[in-house]
Amino acid sequence: MLLCRTTPLDELNLWALGGTGLVAGILGSALGVGGGFLIVPILTLALGLPIKVAIASSLVAIVANSCTAAGMYTKARITNIKLGLLLETVTIPGAIIGGFIAAIIAPSILSAIFGLALIYAAYTMITPKYLTSEDNLSTDNSIAPNSTTDNLSGSLANSYYDQNLDKVVTYKVNRIPAGLGTGFFSGVLSSLLGIGGGVVNVPVMHLIMGVPMKAAIATSTFIITITAAAGALIYHYYGHIYPFIIAPLAIGIVIGARIGVELTQRARGALLRRIFGVFLLIIAILMFLKTANII
């Protein structure tokens, strides 16, 4: 089913594909931005792959990366599994719909939409008052997990041990309908652009739903695993999945993610994020130029 397809693609460079995954994995895990924002532009701009093939490949690589990270986060009990499952009820349908939309719209429009998403991602990297890695909880959000305020909200309340703060952080989850609404949108974006959707999930969970930053990142990673998988399956239906493209990409991104975690410990996160943000802006410009057939 995945093997024999006629294609206009040229010869593949396995090392370039592996290197792409490696860089995406390192920067993705070091900076908390999914690898899709790097993988898709590199595959299209540098390696010349059609954008729909690049998006499909990116989604599978993201599944590999997020499953690796999700395994670690759930083991550390940071992930809010119940919240993740609840949001998946909307992100997966969003991803399915996003996949179908991507199949019918022109590649140039996809490139342009991707460029806009890159600008937003760059903004989140560069803006100094954007989400920090420290959890600054308001006191009224710290509530025991066995709250009786609301059945669902009470079920979603959770706690985890924060090593940096050296204490147990407890929180409740608010504004669930808003989270569900934006969750659907993040699913559509994920499948449409070949990104994880964390760029939407994390701010929504943290800023709107009141989930501490680390738990939001961990839960977003959990959500991305199945959301990206659903999107990738839709791309497979349209014949955009190529094993020889995906294999080195997936291996590279998993190795890169491990390295990225080490870098996070040692590098100055804020400076890295700003440099990466500028880099994303440059890539956005290149994507628009490609859309306009200037390059």
Q: Which residues bind other proteins (CB under 8 A)?
A: 1-7, 9-12, 14-15, 60, 63-64, 67-68, 70-72, 74-75, 77, 79, 81-82, 85-86, 88-89, 92-93, 95-96, 144-146, 151-152, 155, 158, 225-226, 229-234, 236-237, 241-248, 250-251, 254
One-letter identity of residue 88:
E
* Residue with smaller CB distance to other proteins, 104 or 294: 104
Q: Identify which of residues 85 and 143 has a Cβ nearer to other proteins in the complex.
A: 85
The burial class, CB within 10 Å (0-12 / 13-18 / 19+), for 93 is middle
In the complex with other proteins, which residue's Cβ is closer, 46 or 116? 46
Compute CA distances 165 → 19, 134, 135, 157, 161, whole Å: 36, 9, 9, 19, 8
Q: Is the CB of 3 or the CB of 294 nearer to other proteins? A: 3
Least distance to other proteins, CB of residue 273, Å: 27
- Please say which residue, 146 or 293, places its beta carbon nearer to other proteins: 146
Write down the least CB distance from residue 4 to other proteins, Å.
Answer: 7
Q: Which is nearer to other proteins, 11 or 166 (CB)?
A: 11
Shortest approach of other proteins to residue 52 CB, angstroms? 13
Taking the complex as a whole, the smallest distance from the CB of residue 198 to other proteins amounts, in Å, to 15
Q: Are 109 and 198 in contact (CB under 8 A)?
A: no
| Closest to 187 in 3D by CA, of 99, 270, 253 | 99
Alpha carbon distances (Å) from 67 to 57, 187, 205, 225? 16, 17, 20, 6
Nearer to other proteins, 80 or 182 (CB): 80
Q: How far is the CB of 170 from other proteins (least distance, A)?
A: 11
- End-to-end CA distance of the chain: give it in Å, rounded: 35
For residues 195 and 264, give the distance between their C-alpha atoms in angstroms, rounded to a whole number: 21
Please enumerate in sequence order all residues whose Cβ is within 8 A of that of 254, keeping only pairs 6 or more positions apart, or say none.
Answer: 21, 25, 64, 65, 68
* Structure token pair of residue 61: 């690589």
SS3 per residue for 162-213: ECCCCEEEEECCCCHHHHHHHHHHHHHHHHHHCCCCHHHHHHHHHHHCCCCH
Least distance (Å) between residue 35 CB and other proteins: 15
Minimum distance from residue 120 beta carbon to other proteins (Å): 26
CA dist 54 and 51 (Å) reads 5
